[in-house]
């Protein structure tokens, strides 16, 4: 006969936190709410991170153990910041908290149960470039591109597979919605997707989306494993819930199924990522999925002056689907209202912004406190040129990331292959560094290596069993020696030692011959080796490289990223940031909102939310600019209508600036001549921008 026994929480610790003093009334209500389902609608600048941080502190004070709390974020930076804040409140109390991005938590779970989803313990994680290369290999083996030159490239295939994974949409639906010109290739693309799943298991590698999909699959198909984590996580907290996709929302619901103690924090008015799979319905329908949930609104804004918030509130009111809220300012009113500035041409728009930036700087505002935001990156072309002419320092937010750089990925390939000899992508990247070896020879060497190694690490067998070109023989011998050093007696060395070995034996010479900025890249790799010292296991280190793939170079190398320069950014990439002065440029129909969005009410609502996000990045001074005439070498002249987002605003919320044409150094005629010598920039990899030929 069994006996039931109730385990009660440990007594709360006397930390001395005065929650009522540290939080406003709305924040306090959310932070101290009882166990259950809670949706916190946290408006822009309202202290969302503070609310989540104190919620964790409150739970710890109520007797929750750190290991019973799961905190999910979208960026590693956000996860670190919250942990630092919790530890500042309760020193040492958060040790053992499950905190991180969705992908890092998924990786942590999969490392423990990889066999349950068909992968062995030492699996590697492919980034998008690796994924595209493996897909190209699958397409080549199936012979599809040889028979049809139109067959989509690895980049498109990776995007299709990723969207299908994250949204749950069928291939046919995705093709009809985004790639109509590939509809007749549906069967072949489906075959590629199926073969790709098989190849991943052969090479024992997961792609980035697998860290979510395989984790969810694991929980759905293994009830005993699911119960372990459902029982463990007595409280689940989710940041930026409006950005979750269908897969992430399903994973959260599965983990919360036992205790149903979940707090999701977000702002439906800032849901702007549907183009990469985010589902606005997740936050909107949360109360339906959790009928007993409580909705909290946090509407006190600590960032912006009242005039900016009045404009933001008035704009977002035009969206029918939302949780109604009204941001209220703590700060005193500014002297001036947001400026509405029509300009004669797109080049005059650039001239106005540049001149006003210089005036603001003369008034004592640092360049770093000024941002120029726009709908798509190609909107910034004239502004970049004008800033360069006038000597205004500026930075663009879409710089190359640290772990995405070629030299980092090259060295990582050696480590990946050393711990996982089934990693075809790593092997081919590694051998293509050798002289005289291209894609075809790399494939031949791979076939030979597979037969010799049979998944083991007896790398010395490659010395005699593989036949590289004579030009590469010396380098091949050195490669084999290096691989043997990376896994002496078949066991991988520590990751820091591996990096040093690769540099000394092969890669340092390669960099000197290949890269003009050799010394900077060498410093990067030395920094990487130093960073790797905190890891004993190479698989954990490599996983972090992939999970940190979005980390800026300066964040890892310690280089100064606080230069005094104006920020030029798309609004998508500016989300979460703030500046004293914000210029919102190109506010015309067809540019913002974009052409494609104007025919779809859901897309138009998202464009309005994007405008709202841009406005709420501003602390003090807001400038809304648009050209009345667009000059373009390809299309000639085109009159521009002001964006509907401007026309929706009550006139009393803005101050119209009439710009005297003499302020510009360029006449419209001069603009036209200059425009003929400019090439329009367009980045097809940026999903957030409009396609120029549809403007």
Tell me whether residue 617 is one of the annotated catalytic residues: yes
Tell me whether residue 665 is one of the annotated catalytic residues: no
Phi, psi of 332 (to 5 degrees): -75, 155
**Scanning the structure block, which residue is given the tokens 């750089």?**
405
Is the CA virtual torsion 483, 488, 492, 493 positive or negative? negative
Tell me whether residue 694 is one of the annotated catalytic residues: no
Give the chain's largest Cα–Cα span. 94
Helix axes 48-61, 76-89, angle to 10 degrees: 50
**Catalytic member of 49, 228, 481, 557:** 49
Beta strands 636-639 and 618-632: pairing type? antiparallel
**Catalytic member of 26, 27, 48, 73:** 48
Tell me whether residue 240 is one of the annotated catalytic residues: yes
Taking the C-alpha atoms of residue 215 and residue 9, their distance in angstroms, rounded to an integer, is 29
43's enclosing H/E stretch is none
Phi, psi of 458 (to 5 degrees): -85, 70
Show Cβ contacts of residue 517 under 8 Å, excluding neighbours closer than 6 positions. Answer: none
**Scanning the structure block, which residue is given the tokens 């819930």?**
241
**Catalytic member of 61, 68, 130, 240:** 240
Taking the C-alpha atoms of residue 105 and residue 454, their distance in angstroms, rounded to an integer, is 32
Burial of 222 (0-12, 13-18, 19+ CB in 10 A): middle
Tell me whether residue 463 is one of the annotated catalytic residues: no
**Cα distance from N-terminal residue to C-terminal residue, the chain:** 75
Are 481 and 475 in contact, with CB atoms under 8 Å apart? no
The CA-atom distances, in angstroms, between 645 and each of 305, 345, 611, 626, 662 are 20, 20, 8, 12, 29
**Catalytic member of 61, 209, 210, 239:** 239
**Catalytic member of 270, 349, 654, 675:** 270
Are 417 and 410 in contact, with CB atoms under 8 Å apart? no
Tell me whether residue 48 is one of the annotated catalytic residues: yes
Characterize 510-525 residue by residue with b for buried, 16 or more Cβ atoms within 10 angstroms of its Cβ, and e for exposed.
Answer: bbeeeeeeeeebbebb
Residues known to be catalytic = 48-49, 239-240, 270, 617
């Amino acid at each position: 006969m069994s006996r039931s026994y109730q385990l009660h929480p440990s007594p709360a610790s006397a930390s001395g936190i005065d929650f009522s003093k540290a939080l406003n009334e709305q924040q306090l209500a959310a932070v101290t709410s009882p166990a259950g389902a809670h949706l916190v609608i946290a408006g822009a600048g309202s202290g969302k991170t503070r609310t989540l941080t104190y919620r964790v502190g409150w739970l710890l004070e109520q007797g929750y153990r750190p290991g019973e709390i799961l905190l999910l974020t979208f960026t590693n930076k956000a996860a670190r910041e919250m942990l630092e804040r919790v530890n500042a409140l309760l020193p040492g109390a958060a040790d053992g908290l499950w905190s991180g991005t969705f992908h890092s938590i998924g990786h942590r779970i999969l490392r423990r149960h990889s066999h349950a989803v068909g992968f062995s313990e030492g699996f590697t994680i492919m980034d998008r470039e690796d994924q595209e290369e493996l897909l190209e290999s699958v397409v080549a083996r199936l012979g599809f591109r040889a028979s049809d030159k139109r067959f989509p490239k690895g980049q498109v295939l990776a995007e299709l597979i990723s969207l299908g994974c994250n949204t749950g949409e069928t291939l046919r639906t995705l093709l009809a919605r985004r790639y109509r010109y590939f509809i007749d290739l549906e069967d072949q693309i489906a075959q590629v997707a199926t073969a790709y799943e098989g190849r991943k298991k052969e090479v024992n590698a997961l792609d980035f989306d697998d860290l979510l999909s395989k984790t969810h699959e694991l929980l759905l198909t293994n009830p005993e494993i699911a119960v372990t984590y459902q029982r463990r996580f007595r409280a689940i907290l989710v940041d930026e819930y409006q950005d979750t996709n269908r897969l992430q929302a399903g994973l959260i619901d599965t983990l919360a199924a036992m205790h149903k103690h979940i707090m999701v924090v977000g702002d439906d008015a800032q849901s702007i990522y549907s183009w990469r799979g985010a589902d606005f319905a997740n936050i909107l329908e949360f109360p339906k999925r959790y009928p007993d949930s409580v909705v909290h609104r946090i509407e006190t804004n600590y960032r912006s002056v009242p005039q900016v918030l009045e404009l933001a509130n008035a704009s977002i009111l035009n969206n029918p689907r939302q949780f109604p809220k009204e941001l209220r300012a703590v700060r005193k009113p500014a002297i001036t209202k947001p400026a509405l500035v029509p300009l004669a041409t797109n080049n005059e728009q650039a001239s106005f912004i540049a001149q006003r930036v210089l005036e603001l700087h003369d008034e004592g505002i640092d360049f770093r406190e000024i941002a120029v935001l726009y709908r798509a990156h190609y909107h910034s072309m004239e502004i970049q040129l004008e800033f360069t002419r006038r000597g205004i320092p500026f930075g663009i937010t879409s710089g190359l990331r640290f772990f995405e750089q070629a030299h980092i990925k090259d060295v990582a390939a050696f480590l990946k292959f050393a711990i996982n000899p089934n990693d075809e992508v790593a092997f081919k990247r590694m051998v293509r560094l050798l002289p005289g070896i291209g894609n075809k020879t790399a494939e031949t060497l791979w076939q030979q290596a597979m037969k010799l190694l049979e998944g083991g690490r007896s790398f010395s067998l490659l010395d005699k069993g593989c036949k590289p070109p004579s030009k590469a023989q010396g380098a091949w011998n050195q490669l084999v020696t290096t691989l043997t050093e990376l896994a002496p007696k078949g066991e991988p060395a520590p990751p820091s030692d591996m990096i040093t070995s690769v540099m000394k034996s092969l890669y340092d010479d390669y960099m000197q011959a290949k890269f003009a900025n050799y010394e900077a890249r060498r410093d990067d790799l030395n920094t990487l080796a130093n960073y790797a010292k905190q890891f004993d296991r190479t698989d954990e280190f490599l996983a972090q490289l992939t999970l940190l793939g979005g980390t800026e170079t300066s964040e890892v190398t310690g280089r100064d990223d606080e230069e005094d320069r104006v920020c030029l950014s798309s609004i998508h990439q500016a989300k979460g940031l703030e500046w004293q002065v914000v210029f919102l440029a190109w506010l015309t129909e067809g540019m913002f909102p974009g052409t494609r969005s104007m025919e779809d009410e859901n897309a138009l609502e998202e464009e309005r939310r994007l405008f709202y996000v841009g406005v709420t990045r501003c602390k003090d001074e807001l400038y809304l600019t648009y050209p009345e005439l667009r000059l373009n070498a390809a299309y000639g002249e085109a009159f521009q209508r002001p964006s509907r987002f401007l026309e929706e605003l009550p006139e009393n919320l803005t101050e119209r600036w009439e710009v005297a044409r003499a302020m510009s150094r360029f006449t419209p005629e001069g603009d036209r001549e200059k425009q003929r010598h400019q090439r329009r920039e367009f980045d097809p990899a940026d999903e957030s921008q409009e396609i120029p030929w549809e403007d």
